[in-house]
Every structure is written in structure tokens, then in C-alpha cells.
Amino acid sequence: MKDDLPKGFRAATVAAKFRNWNRDDLGLIFSDLPCVLAALFTRNIFCAAPVIVCKEILASGRTIRAVVANAGQANSCTGADGLKDCREIQEIAAKDLGVAPDEIALVSTGVIGARFDMAKWREALKKLSAGLGKQDAEGFTRSFMTTDAFPKFASRDIELSAGNVRLTVMAKGAGMICPDMATMLCVVLTDAAITREYWRKFFIKEVDASFNRVSVDGDTSTNDTILGLANGASGVELISDGDRELFRDELGQILKKVAYMLVQDGEGSSKVIHIDIEGAADEAAAKKAARAVAGSQLVKTAIYGGDANWGRIINAVGYSGVDVRPDEVGLYLCGIERFRDGVPVNDNMEAELAEKLKERDISVRIILGKGDGKYSMLSSDLGREYVTLNSDYRS
């Protein structure tokens, strides 16, 4: 077991058997000290009961002490009964941990429409707190994986003026991934002594620049949640503008690292597509163009097949709704210019381009010729396995 959690945080997992898998599927993060909370949630109107509970905690401005995460049961579209189940879980866990129920956040993933199996929850919760300290970041991350091929987590130490602090990010996600809270669960921990004002400011900005810029299949789920807990256990404060800038930058880098893992592990995917829009009228226009390319099924399947069909990319820009002139748009695929001044270029480089398309990371650079607006996104290709995985998800 690695010692990769920040100071003052402990983890535990158990096998609740929410589905027919032979592994732990219920996890707990507990902080010895109260934590300042930052969070962002799905924009899906049908948000799950655990999301509603977390939103209430965030809106209250209270500190929290724990996160309970599970796989296999989403508790989404379950109405008042689903919320009642969440409250009961908070009550049971609070008694075992010696904290207040509203200091416990819940994150869940699974099939929409089914309530929690409370008999399994009650039995598993009896064992959960007893295992605190016996798991690391990887163990906790594995406890709420579903179709993920590998656990997505990272830690890094940051040297500030007054000493070192640590950031740890743990996430799940492979399918149902789209911008505006990409479909995933994520818990971010730090032992930095940071104010609520700065923590939330940094958190919102860097999540928007990372997890909100990925797309696998264009679906946003009912349970998307990213929680940030800062407990100050290191005793190290961000005492200068330099400290705050360094901390924010390190937060951004680690979030981007884990966001890349989500796209890398997209269900059935084999490629990560790096989309860079330049020369848009403004950032909003660049964002619109990037999302059109990232969400195009034709672009995704072409990249999956290693087909240098750059016309599909230009086509997506054309229907994106962005104001462009064909004779001002440029396109580079895998670093090779393929479109300029309204016509194709470098037709003699098809063979070289085909070789580059065999690589894991594929670059798409589009110049719109309208201004200084720019935007970047990550997307995945789309292969046969995606259909296989999602056609029998409940079985």
C-alpha cells in the first residue's frame, strides 16, 4: 500500500456485493480534521439523490469530514425514497465515525432507476469504518470503478514557502462522458491550509479547464460529481501570491492528468484526440467549434480506423454554428497541413499521415482566421467495443 493520501486523510473499502463482481465496491475517505469543501455537479436535470445531498452540503457552507463512494447502484430517478435512503446512510456512517450526518458526502454510480439495496448497505457499513487506514488512493479508486479498465488516480507534492503540501485526485469514468461535468466521479484531496474563497475559486477554474474539456460519447449522466476536500492538516498556508499561483497551477496539472486518463480509457477507444482551435472570434466560438469536432461520430470512427479523412473534421466545423469563411480556415492533422485557403494541400503525404494515425495520441489543429479566440479539448475515437459494452450494461 502506498502512502499517497494527504496528511489527515484515511481510506477504507469493503465488498458490499452491489453487483455480481468479485471486488470491493464501497469506499470511504475520512478526514481527521474538518474540510473546506469545493464541488461541481452534473447539469443533467435528473440529478441523482446523492448529488442532491452533496449540493445541499455545499450550499450550506459547512465543513465536511467524509466521502462515501459506491459502484453498482446510482440511486438516480428514485424520488423521495432515494433521498431517504441517502439520509439513512449518512446517519449510520455518522454514528460509526463520530461526526454529524451532514458532514458526510455521497457519490454513486450504476444503473439509473434502481434504489439502493439498503440491506446490503447496512451490512457493509458495519465493516467500513473499521478498515480506515488500510487503503490507499488506488484502493479507494477501485471501489467505485464500473466499466473502467484501470484506476485513475494521481498524487503530487507541492513545495510552498512555508512547507510541503500534497494533492491527490481519484476518479472513475470510461463511458457516458461529455463536457459540462464529464460523466465521472472524482474526489480531490489536499492537506493545504487554504481558505474556502481561494479553494473554490481555484477549483472551479481548473475543473473547467480539465474535466469539462473531455468527450467520449456525448452523454452526461445523472450522477456526475467532483468533490474537493481541503483539511489543512499540513499546517502549511498559501501565504503569498506566488504560493497561490503555484498551488493553482499544480491543481490544474494534476486534474488534466487524470482527465486525460478518462479519455484514454473511453469504452472501446484506442486513441486520444487532442483538438486545438485557434483564430476564433472569441473563446465562446472556439469552444463551439471544438465541441462539434469532439462530438462528431464520423470524426471518431475515422480516427479509430486510421482513416485520414480530414474532410469530416472540416465538415464538423462547418455545421458547428461558428461564423467562418472557408477560404480563411486551416487544418493540421497529426502535424501535417491538409487544408488551406479553401482547398486541400499536401495530398502527397497520405502515406505518412496514415502512419501517424496509428499512434495513441492524435493532434487536430484548426485555425479559423477570425481573431484571437482559442480552446482545447480531448476526445476519444469510437470503436466496436463501445457498442458491445453498452448493449448489455445491466447484465
- Over the stretch 21-41, which tens digit does the pLDDT of each residue have? 889 999 999 999 999 999 999
CA dihedral 134, 226, 69, 98 (to 10 degrees): 70
How far does Cα 252 stand from its chain's mean position? 13
- The question of whether 183 is a catalytic residue gets the answer yes
pLDDT level of residue 215 (50, 70, 90 thresholds): confident
Set of cell numbers at residue 349: 503525404
Q: How far apart are CA 385 and CA 111, in angstroms?
A: 19
Residues 6+ apart with CB under 8 A from 125: 26, 89, 92, 93, 96
For 173-186, write each residue's pLDDT tens digit: 754 455 454 457 99
**Contact in structure between 226 and 39 (CB atoms under 8 Å):** yes
pLDDT level of residue 91 (50, 70, 90 thresholds): very high
Residues 6+ apart with CB under 8 A from 272: 260, 263, 264, 360, 361, 362, 378, 379, 380
Least confident span in 1-15, 94-108, 370-384: 370-384
- Could you tell me what percent of the chain has a pLDDT over 70? 92
Whether domain 9-264 has CATH 3.20.20.70: no
Residue 270 has what pLDDT?
Answer: 84
Q: Where in the chain is the domain with CATH 3.10.20.340?
A: 272-391
Q: Is the pLDDT of residue 280 over 90?
A: yes
- Among 173, 262, 260, 266, CA closest to 223: 173
Residues 6+ apart with CB under 8 A from 45: none
Q: Is the pLDDT of residue 349 over 70?
A: yes
pLDDT level of residue 387 (50, 70, 90 thresholds): low
Q: Where in the chain is the domain with CATH 3.60.70.12?
A: 9-264
The residue from 13, 147, 183, 225 that is catalytic is: 183
Q: How far apart are CA 344 and CA 76, in angstroms?
A: 49
Compare 147 and 7 and report the one with higher pLDDT. Answer: 7
Least confident span in 102-116, 259-273, 299-313, 328-342: 259-273
pLDDT, mean of residues 302-312: 92
* CATH for the stretch 272-391: 3.10.20.340
Cβ neighbours, 10 Å, residue 78: 20
Q: Is the pLDDT of residue 222 over 90?
A: no
Q: Is the pLDDT of residue 94 over 90?
A: yes
DSSP letter at 237 equals B
